[in-house]
Amino acid sequence: MTVNFDQIPSNLLTPGVFTEVNGRRAAASNPELPRRVVLVGSRLSGSVATGVPFRIFAAEDAEDAAGVGSMLAEMAHVAKQQNRYVEMWGIGLDDNGSGVAATGTVTVTGPATAAGTLSLYVAPYWVGSTMRGRYQVAVSNADTATVIGDAIVAAITADPYRQVSAVNAAGVVTLTSRFDGTPANDISISHSYFANESLPAGVGVAIVAMASGATNADIATAISALGDAHTTHLVQPFTDASSLSAVETEMTRRWGGTVQRECHAWQAANGALGTLTTLGDGRNSELSTILGAGLSPSPSWIAAADLAALDAAEFHPGRPLRGRRLPSLLAPPAGDEFDGDERLAARLVPSPQLHGTFVDELLAE
* pLDDT 10s digits, 33-72: 789 999 999 999 999 999 999 999 999 999 999 999 999 9
Burial class (CB in 10 A: 0-12, 13-18, 19+), 129: exposed
With beta carbons less than 8 A apart as the criterion, state whether 100 and 90 touch: no
So what's the pLDDT on residue 294? 87
Q: Which of 325, 257, 259, 255 has the alpha carbon at shortest distance from 288? A: 255
* pLDDT 10s digits, 23-36: 666 655 555 678 99
Q: How far apart are CA 178 and CA 11, in angstroms?
A: 53
* pLDDT 10s digits, 113-163: 999 999 999 999 999 999 999 999 999 999 999 999 999 999 999 999 999
CA distances from 65 to 50, 68, 89, 92 (A): 10, 9, 11, 8
With beta carbons less than 8 A apart as the criterion, state whether 143 and 214 touch: no
Torsion of CA 40, 46, 47, 51, to 10 degrees: 30
Pairing of strands 204-211, 130-139: unpaired
* pLDDT 10s digits, 192-227: 999 999 999 999 999 999 999 999 999 999 999 999
Q: Taking the model in full, what pTM does it have?
A: 0.86
pLDDT grade for 364, boundaries at 50, 70 and 90: very low
pLDDT at 365 over 50: no
